[in-house]
Amino acid sequence: MTPRPIIIDTDPGTDDAIAIWLALASPELEVLGISAVAGNVPLPLTERNARKVCELAKRPDMAVFAGCSRPMLRPLVTAEAFHGGSGLGGTDLPEPTMPLQPGHAVDWLVDTLMAAGDGEITLCPIGPLTNIAMAIVKEPRILSRIREIVLMGGGFFAGGNITPAAEFNIYCDPHAAHVVFNSGVRLTMMPLDVTHQARTSRERIAAVRAIGTPVGVAAAALMASHGKREAQDRDKDGGPLHDPCVIAYLLQPELFGGRHCNVRVNTASEATMGMTVVDWWGVTDGSKNCTVMNRIDADRYFALIVDRLARL
Ligand code: RIB
Ligand code: CA
């Protein structure tokens, strides 16, 4: 079977790291490259963390590019409280020796997509959408080359995690999200409504740690660190493992369920800045621009992560 070509756009980020490892461990996917963006922590850290993660998975050959260091219009808001000052809280991965690729990630995204066939490449943004939106604005012709954008971001009935109304990736760069959600590209969205059902636990973390490899031990430490920090529901065990949902969907879409809806991003009022307005009940005549996921088989999701990370 021909592997599905994907690009991961990311702000590592404890959960981003696990998403990257899941993709690198899965022969169903061909990771064409990784574009780093400012988000959880500033760009110098996200690009370095992306290289640390690739090297730990014995993939020093992976092309990692640095992208935008701030959102399109708003000042950068980071999330060290959730991810630690380094962005990879709970671990001390070796400094990378693999090089950062020369050139800007946005230019690499445009060049790679323009060289691709129609509908050939799947984009997997798991951080703020700045790089993706800038590439679309710079060269709109890339849209025909994109098979699908599967993104982690947003929320509807689950509300927000950085403000009461907004999820971090969308809140961080709401104008970029507006560009992406209005691009007309096939969109699949993993909002908090689904990722909050995919929570780590002592047992789930222990299963990852039991893999016993450097990746397994590091992944367990990242999950434990993130779980402690993202105490969304203090009575709930563990934190939501957001970003690997994007990769898991590409590998086993049957683990997920959702609905085709109209989704708009608020960029007008500060109180609800970055809110994803999901017309779940179809009460408007807005075009259904996105498949919004709200169900996951969490046990099979974590089993997939253990199975695949053990291969690295
Ligand atoms: O709100 C969760 C998202 O914000 C995840 O992608 C996490 O890594 C942070 O970027
Ligand atoms: Ca992320």
pLDDT digits (tens, 9 = 90+) for 97-123: 999 999 999 999 999 999 999 999 999
Q: Given ligand 1 and candidates 16, 49, 194, which is best to mutate, with the most ligand atoms within 8 Å of its CB?
A: 16
pLDDT confidence of residue 90: 83
Atom of ligand 1 nearest to the CA of 13: 8
Q: Given ligand 1 and candidates 243, 245, 247, which is best to mutate, with the most ligand atoms within 8 Å of its CB?
A: 243
* pLDDT cut 90: percent of the chain above it: 92
- Contact criterion met (CB below 8 Å) for 240 and 192: yes
Kindly tell me the sign of the dihedral angle through the C-alpha atoms of 211, 215, 221, 227.
Answer: negative
Residue 207 CA to ligand 2 center (angstroms) comes to 23
- Mean pLDDT, range 275-302, rounded to an integer: 98
Atom of ligand 1 nearest to the CA of 192: 1
CA atoms within 13 A on the CB side of 14: 30
The number of helices, as runs of H, and strands, as runs of E, in the chain is 12, 10
pLDDT confidence of residue 237: 62
Residue 168 CA to ligand 2 center (angstroms) comes to 9
Which of 178, 196, 226, 242 is catalytic? The answer is 242
Q: What is the pLDDT of residues 209-245, one digit of tens each?
A: 999 999 999 999 999 988 766 655 545 567 999 999 9
Quote the distance between the C-alpha of residue 51 and its chain's center. 16
Ligand 1 touching residue 47 (CB < 6 A): no
Q: What single string gives the DSSP state of each residue in 49-83?
A: HHHHHHHHTT-TTS-EEE--SS-SSSPP---HHHH
Question: Which band of pLDDT confidence, cut at 50, 70 and 90, is reported for residue 208?
Answer: very high
Active site residue 226: no
Looking at residue 268, what DSSP letter applies?
Answer: S
- Indicate the domain borders of the chain: 4-309
Q: Which CATH architecture describes the domain 4-309?
A: Alpha-Beta Complex (3.90)
Question: Which band of pLDDT confidence, cut at 50, 70 and 90, is reported for residue 82?
Answer: confident
Count Cβ atoms below 10 Å from residue 182 Cβ, excluding itself. Answer: 15
d(CA 270, CA 272): 5
**More confident site: 233 or 180:** 180
Looking at residue 255, what DSSP letter applies?
Answer: G
Residue 243 CA to ligand 1 center (angstroms) comes to 7
Task: Please state the pTM of the whole predicted model.
Answer: 0.97
Q: What is the pLDDT of residues 20-58, one digit of tens each?
A: 999 999 999 999 999 999 999 999 999 999 999 999 999
Rg (C-alpha) for the chain, rounded Å, is 18
| Angle, helices 174-181/130-138, rounded to nearest 10 degrees | 50
